[in-house]
Amino acid sequence: MKKNITKNKIKENEEKLYINSGLSRIIDDEIVSFHMPGHKNGKLYEKLGYKEKMEKLYKTDTTEIPGTDNLHSPNDIIKESLQKTEAIFDSGKTYYLINGSTCGIQTAIMSTCNPEDKLIMSRDSHQSAINGCILGDIKPIYIKADVDKKTNIQMGNSFKNIKKAIDENIDSKAILLTYPTYYGVTIDLEKVIKYAHEKNIIVIIDEAHGAHLGLSSKLPKTALSCGADIVIQSTHKTLPAFTQSSMMHISKNAIENNIVNIDRIEKILKMTETSSPSYILMQSLEIAVDIYERYGKELIEELYKNIINFKNELNHYKINIKNKLKNENYKLEEIEFFNIYNKDDFTKIFISSLEVGLTGYELEEILRKNYNIQVELSNYCGVLMISTIGNDTNDFKKMKNALISIYEESNLKGRKKLNAINYPNISPKIIFNPREAFYKEKINVKIEESIGKICGENIVPYPPGVCIIATGEIIQKEIIDYLKYCKKEGMEISGLKDSKFEYIQVIEN
């Protein structure tokens, strides 16, 4: 580079790096992160002394050369790293996933099911599972998920519904369940796995949101400890790995008893995962495991105390408001305070906003614009905070102060309590299996004219990336009415060719 390049020229070039410039602005804003990834803008790396290693990471962006090993055939440094991870997570075999949990879920599906086999799966499974059925020509058998009417949170599957699906489809090769859900809901997994194994059904668990569960007895049991055969974890979601970094664990029992075909898993992984895996992402997985082992239990206990204090302080404020209403004729009386929900996984915190006259979409926007706080997601009823071992006391203090301020402002503006709207907890009729539907000819029709027709695309309110209706299913009025209303209120919908949600692709029958 010539020495006489001016500072203005360098600045001009920097401004043309649009992604870099945009992300730099977010860093400069020091946004409080209650969203993934789990390292919280790198704050945890700095706290634990990994800063220097992280700053040099770009220099280790390499490929398969002498000394670097090969992810798809590890026998050196990657093998040693994986063996350490297997011991820490108590798995029979572990794979680093550089294409996220998506490739792990799809590999698990296609390695356990042959074309036209049945796969029992939760209706609230991630869209990657449906795409896996398209790739493998596999027939999904959906288990209906319960929905909490107050929060629109999907509550997972009851043992009764799971048992019914198994009994009616005893020829199924595998069952895929989400544990925990995006919102931290779990089920009696040991009971479910025991019953599935009695029927010779392989159990796959999408534990994308539960990589941290082994850190505390206050958290639900891990899927591996419950007896699952294949477990996929998004290490970047709740542990401090880089985005797109995940792991797939095979249980010791599944290997010892030849329940899963390891050779087939590895062959399919080579198809679903890049042939040029990122060494930077692999290193982030190794560092996340190192943090998990060395500091995890101490940090999760700190997090637990911060969450308890956060909830107690908000509850104390609520009590004070009620006392003032009784004793001092206090004016903050038109609306209630936020309701705070913790499900089975205490690290997931749902804040219901309807009590203060705001939709979740509005609350998310206010938190970001006015208080520099970013939550993981919003639905009509509220917002979800994903807290991890990367969050600190100051993060929760800022959120607490923000909620109190928003509540008081809502009173001053005379907002009224809103009513919840019902999530359409129905099971659309399947006309074509996902793969068959994918290759059918499709046409665009207006949303209002799509009711009763066969859907030609996956409609996915996002996040959390769960199909409300999948390709090949009959479109029902309740679903369209719900989507139209929530879209108007601020919901993002993924999967549609028409991002404006004016048209939808349907299959010409």
46 falls within a domain: no
State the pLDDT confidence band at 317, using cuts at 50, 70 and 90. Answer: very high
Q: Do residues 38 and 237 lie in contact, with contact meaning Cβ atoms separated by under 8 Å? A: yes
**What tens digit of pLDDT does each residue of 458-505 get?**
888 765 667 888 899 999 999 999 888 888 888 888 778 888 889 999
Read off the pTM.
0.93
User: 38-59: per-residue pLDDT in tens?
Assistant: 999 999 999 999 999 998 999 9
Total domains, the chain: 3
Q: What percent of the chain has pLDDT over 90?
A: 75
- Average pLDDT value for residue range 117-123: 95
Do 375 and 313 sit in the same domain of this protein? Answer: yes
Domain identity same for 285 and 305: no
pLDDT bucket at 329, cuts 50 / 70 / 90: low
How far apart are the C-alpha atoms of 237 and 211, rounded to whole Å?
8
Average pLDDT over residues 119-123: 94
Query: Looking at residue 466, which CATH number applies to its domain?
Result: 3.90.105.10
| Residue that terminates a domain, selected from 252, 274, 289 | 289
Q: pLDDT-based confidence at 175, cuts 50/70/90?
A: very high
* Lowest-confidence pick of 15-19, 79-83, 267-271: 15-19
Higher pLDDT, 146 or 187: 187
**Are 195 and 62 within one domain?**
yes
Domain boundary among 262, 289, 316: 289
Residues 122 and 179 in one domain: yes
Q: Within a domain: residue 302?
A: yes
**Would 270 be classed as within a structural domain?**
yes
Q: What is the CATH number of the domain that holds 220?
A: 3.40.640.10
pLDDT given at position 486: 85
How far is 246 from 5, CA to CA, in rounded Å? Answer: 43
Query: Is 352 in the same domain as 448?
Result: no
| DSSP character string of 373-417 | EEESEEETTEEEEE--TT--HHHHHHHHHHHHHHHHHHHHTT--P
pLDDT reported for residue 465: 67
Per-residue pLDDT at 328 exceeds 70: no
Residues 215 and 150 placed together within one structural domain of the fold: yes
Structure tokens at 488: 């108007």
Q: Are residues 137 and 257 in the same domain?
A: yes
Q: Distance between CA 232 and CA 242 in Å, rounded?
A: 16
Shared-domain flag, residues 305 and 366: yes
Q: Are residues 148 and 187 in the same domain?
A: yes
pLDDT, position 399: 98
247 shares its domain with 310: no
The whole-number pLDDT of residue 425 equals 76
Contact 480, 488 (CB under 8 A): no
pLDDT in the model for residue 40: 96
**Owning domain of residue 489:** 434-507
Lowest-pLDDT choice from 83-97, 386-400, 424-438 = 424-438
Structure confidence at residue 327 (pLDDT)? 63
Residue 118's pLDDT is what?
Answer: 98
Tell me what pLDDT residue 226 has: 98
> Which one of 259, 289, 319 terminates a domain?
289
Q: Is residue 12 part of a domain?
A: no
Say if residue 280 is in the same domain as residue 316. Answer: no
Q: Are residues 235 and 314 in the same domain?
A: no
The CATH number linked to 331 is 3.90.1150.10
Kindly give the pairing relationship between strand 492-494 and strand 460-462.
Answer: antiparallel
